[in-house]
Structure 1
Amino acid sequence: MKALAAAMLVGMAGIACAAPQAVAPSVPAIRWTGTASQGGLILGTAPAGTRMLSVDGVPVTVAPDGRFVAGFDRDARPQATLSATLGDGRVVTETLAVAPRGWSISRLPTLPKIPVPDAEFARLRPPELARIVAARAVNAASDGWRQRFAWPVTGRISTLFGSQRIYANGEAGSYHSGVDVARATGTIVTAPADGVVILAADHPFTLEGNLLMIDHGMGLNSAFLHLSRIDVRVGERVRQGQPIGAVGRTGRATGPHLHWSLRWRDAKLDPMLAAGEMR
Structure 2
Amino acid sequence: MRILVFLLMMMGTPVCSAAVELQGSFTQGGLVFGKTMPGAQVQHDGEKVPVSPDGDFVIGFSREASETSELRVRLPDGGQERRQLQIAKREYDIQRIDGLPERKVTPKKEDQTRIETDRAAVKRARARLDQRIDFLQGFEWPAKGRITGVYGSQRILNGKPKWPHYGVDIAGPVGKPVRAPADGIVTLAHPDMFYSGATLIMDHGHGLSSTFLHLHKILVREGQRVRKGQIVAEMGASGRVTGPHLDWRMNLRGKRVDPQLLVGPMKSE
TM-score (norm. length: structure 1): 0.84
Residues 25, 251 of structure 1: alpha-carbon distance in 2 compared, 3 angstrom cutoff? closer
Deviations 1:31-63 (A, max 9, x none): 21111110111111123541x211101111111
- Residue of structure 1 equivalent to 2:11: none
Confirm or deny: 8 A CA contact 1:104 1:164 kept in the other structure. Answer: yes
Return the structure number with greater strand share. Answer: 2
Q: CA deviation at 1:27?
A: 4.1
Confirm or deny: 8 A CA contact 1:142 1:194 kept in the other structure. Answer: no
- Residue of structure 1 equivalent to 2:262: 274
Q: For residues 37-56 of structure 1, what are the structure 2 equivalents within 5 Å?
A: 37-50=27-40, 52-56=41-45
- Residue of structure 1 equivalent to 2:170: 181
The worse-fitting range, judged by mean Cα deviation, of 156-165 and 238-247 is 156-165
What amino acid is aligned across from residue 85 of structure 2 in structure 1?
Answer: L
The worse-fitting range, judged by mean Cα deviation, of 79-88 and 24-33 is 24-33
Confirm or deny: 8 A CA contact 2:60 2:255 kept in the other structure. Answer: yes
What amino acid is aligned across from residue 97 of structure 1 in structure 2?
Answer: Q
Q: CA deviation at 1:248?
A: 0.2
Are 2:5 and 1:26 equivalent residues in the alignment?
A: no
CA distance in 2, matches of 1:39, 1:224: 18
Q: Percent identity?
A: 40
Confirm or deny: 8 A CA contact 2:167 2:250 kept in the other structure. Answer: yes
CA distance in 2, matches of 1:257, 1:242: 19
Q: CA deviation at 1:145?
A: 1.1
Correspondence for 1:214 among 202, 209, 222: 202
For the residue of structure 2 that corresponds to 1:63, the secondary structure is: coil
The count of corresponding residues between Structure 1 and Structure 2 is: 249
Q: CA deviation at 1:89?
A: 2.2
Q: CA deviation at 1:144?
A: 1.7
Are 2:235 and 1:247 equivalent residues in the alignment?
A: yes
Residues 211, 64 of structure 1: alpha-carbon distance in 2 compared, 3 angstrom cutoff? same
What amino acid is aligned across from residue 126 of structure 2 in structure 1?
Answer: R
What amino acid is aligned across from residue 216 of structure 1 in structure 2?
Answer: H
Correspondence for 1:200 among 174, 177, 189: 189
Return the structure number with greater helix share. Answer: 1
The worse-fitting range, judged by mean Cα deviation, of 83-92 and 177-186 is 83-92
Correspondence for 2:82 among 93, 111, 117: 93
Structure 2 residues without counterparts, runs of 5 or longer: 1-13
Deviations 1:72-114 (A, max 9, x none): 1111110111101123321111111011111102479xxx9x8
Residues 187, 167 of structure 1: alpha-carbon distance in 2 compared, 3 angstrom cutoff? closer
- Residue of structure 1 equivalent to 2:112: 122
Confirm or deny: 8 A CA contact 1:143 1:195 kept in the other structure. Answer: no
Q: CA deviation at 1:218?
A: 0.6
Residues 141, 228 of structure 1: alpha-carbon distance in 2 compared, 3 angstrom cutoff? farther
Structure 1 residues without counterparts, runs of 5 or longer: 1-23
Residues 264, 213 of structure 1: alpha-carbon distance in 2 compared, 3 angstrom cutoff? same
Are 2:177 and 1:191 equivalent residues in the alignment?
A: no
What amino acid is aligned across from residue 111 of structure 2 in structure 1?
Answer: F
CA distance in 2, matches of 1:115, 1:143: 38
CA distance in 2, matches of 1:33, 1:251: 36
Residues 107, 179 of structure 1: alpha-carbon distance in 2 compared, 3 angstrom cutoff? closer
What amino acid is aligned across from residue 219 of structure 1 in structure 2?
Answer: G
Q: CA deviation at 1:168?
A: 10
The worse-fitting range, judged by mean Cα deviation, of 29-38 and 175-184 is 29-38
CA distance in 2, matches of 1:182, 1:228: 13
CA distance in 1, matches of 2:182, 2:105: 38
Q: CA RMSD in A?
A: 2.1
- Residue of structure 1 equivalent to 2:246: 258
Q: For residues 150-161 of structure 1, what are the structure 2 equivalents within 5 Å?
A: 150-161=140-151
